[in-house]
């Protein structure tokens, strides 16, 4: 089986929205209902996937759109 090659990555820009909302990572994790460890994995870009329901909860807690916290970066 061939390994899939990706031409880019999705970056989670949660820090910017957290600062705008004056909210801590711990508060966001509590609002979303996930552990601080899992929120940190998302925040640092180490997550391989995210459930749409988790993304909805993050956007609800931060009062933002998915495009406000997600960014596609093409590999050079």
40 with 25: CB under 8 angstroms? yes
- Which range marks the domain in which residue 58 is found? 9-63
Domain assignment present for residue 72? The answer is no
CATH of the domain at 36: 1.10.260.40
- Look up the pTM and report it: 0.85
pLDDT in tens, 9-49: 888 999 999 999 999 999 999 999 999 999 999 988 888 89
Report in angstroms the alpha-carbon separations of 5 from 42, 45, 48. Answer: 21, 18, 14
d(CA 59, CA 66): 6
């Amino acid at each position: 089986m061939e390994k899939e090659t990706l031409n880019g990555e999705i970056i989670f820009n949660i820090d910017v929205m957290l600062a705008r909302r004056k909210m801590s990572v711990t508060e966001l994790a509590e609002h979303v209902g996930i552990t601080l460890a899992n929120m940190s994995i998302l925040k640092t870009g180490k997550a391989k996937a995210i459930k749409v329901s988790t993304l909805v909860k993050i956007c609800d807690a931060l009062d933002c759109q998915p495009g406000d916290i997600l960014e596609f970066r093409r590999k050079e």
